[in-house]
Amino acid sequence: MSDRKKVAFVLGTRPEAIKLAPLFLKFLEHEDVVQPVMWVTGQHREMLNQVLDLFGISPDLDFELMKPGQKPIEVTCRVLESLDSVLEKEKPDLLIVQGDTTSVFAAALAAFYARIPVAHVEAGLRTYKKYSPFPEELNRQLCTRLTDFHLAPTENARLNLLEEGVSKDAIWVTGNTVIDALDFMIEHVRKNSPDMPEGFPLTQIEENRKLVLITGHRRENFGEGLESICNAIKSLAVKYSSCDFVYPVHLNPNVQEPVNRLLTGVGNIHLIEPLSYDAFVWAMDRSFLILTDSGGIQEEAPHLGKPVLVMRENTERSESIDSGTSKLVGVNQETIVREVSLLLDSSTEYQLMSHATNPFGDGTASDQIYGILTEQMVEK
């Protein structure tokens, strides 16, 4: 390249930071040919900072848009307004977004208005259920219409994009950068155990008690769905008193209230504060299985050989289901209890899931994406 190209990374949540950090660092390795800058919207304030600190990244600009109880429409408006003047002033040659948050859609829309090309990392994930997950599914679909360079994590994602009319010449299958981040962090935490919060059952782990790691915070599960999940966890804890059920509880009041009301006081259920990324990776590495409604964990846990039971009615990561690394169990109490019991009781069923091949990449996604985008900027 004759001139250094300015590449702006826009992110707002912890999952975005995890998945974009290795790519941003790859661009930083080549500052002689590119000028990477990171702009954060600040949706997940403390959790976002923790991840960036772990990777040694300092944002170039922080919009500080986080407000308690904010709605997607408020986030959309704030991101659009904040990026408008910044894009006009900074004039990046490319804007990179990742995933499915409202920040992603709004940033891509702002870049379109400014006639700046957009690269979408983790493009093409779909459930084709308008409100599940909400608002992530439509954020993905809308972002696709605004994207110039589609970095699909899997062949299925590429096929989704082709079905929607995206040119094959604008799609690249790279694997998912979350595996790059996980490889970096697992090596770190196996050498340097992170500090764990009060209430984490370290002694029990040393005694080789089975650990079931739980996350649950999806918006579509708020209310009856989350209460059903909690009742299932309580039933399992009573049934399997020799196991420990660890639940880092999301700070959202819609999660805190039912979880604390229904699960406090059960001896082998450990409700703890949200874990930093390194602590969560450490916990995943030591868990027996993972019960979650998260998307990214469906990609991470199989890389560590951990079965994942997904407490949702559908998933945009169908590859994990097809490969056998994950299983959809929904939010029905009886179904969750049955499927967790199967893995705790049957070594055969457990081995089938824990030894399945992870379909989400080999840890080279950042290298591939850097090469693709720098080549495309030269051609453009």
* Token duo for residue 209: 């008690």
Catalytic residue among 100, 244, 293, 339: 100
Q: Choose among 112, 41, 40: nearest CA to 70.
A: 41
Q: Choose among 1, 9, 35: nearest CA to 111.
A: 9
How do 211-215 and 61-62 pair as beta strands? unpaired
Q: Choose among 281, 298, 289, 302: nearest CA to 336.
A: 289
Sign of CA dihedral 79, 84, 89, 94: positive
**What DSSP string runs through 261-280?**
HHHTT-TTEEEEPPPPHHHH
Catalytic residue among 4, 30, 250, 286: 250
Count of CB atoms within 10 A of residue 160's CB? 23
For residue 122, indicate whether it is catalytic: yes
Catalytic residue among 14, 16, 122, 270: 122
Sign of CA dihedral 264, 267, 268, 274: positive
Question: How large is the C-alpha radius of gyration of the chain?
Answer: 20
How far is the C-alpha of 332 from the C-alpha of 227, rounded, in Å?
Answer: 10
**Residue whose token pair is 């995206």:** 166
Catalytic residue among 4, 188, 209, 219: 219
* Token duo for residue 125: 């994930």
**Residue whose token pair is 């985008």:** 373
Catalytic residue among 44, 120, 126, 217: 217
How far is the C-alpha of 286 from the C-alpha of 289, rounded, in Å?
Answer: 9
Q: Which helix (H) or strand (E) holds 95?
A: strand 94-98
Q: Which helix (H) or strand (E) holds 54?
A: helix 45-54
Sign of CA dihedral 187, 285, 303, 149: negative
For residue 217, indicate whether it is catalytic: yes
For residue 150, indicate whether it is catalytic: no
Per residue, what are the HEC states of 103-161?
A: HHHHHHHHHHHCCCCEEEECCCCCCCCCCCCCCHHHHHHHHHHHCCEEEECCHHHHHHH
Torsion of CA 38, 42, 44, 48, to 10 degrees: 30
Helix (H, G, I), strand (E, B) or coil at 167: coil
Catalytic residue among 16, 136, 137, 316: 136
Q: Which residues are catalytic?
A: 100, 122, 136, 217, 219, 250
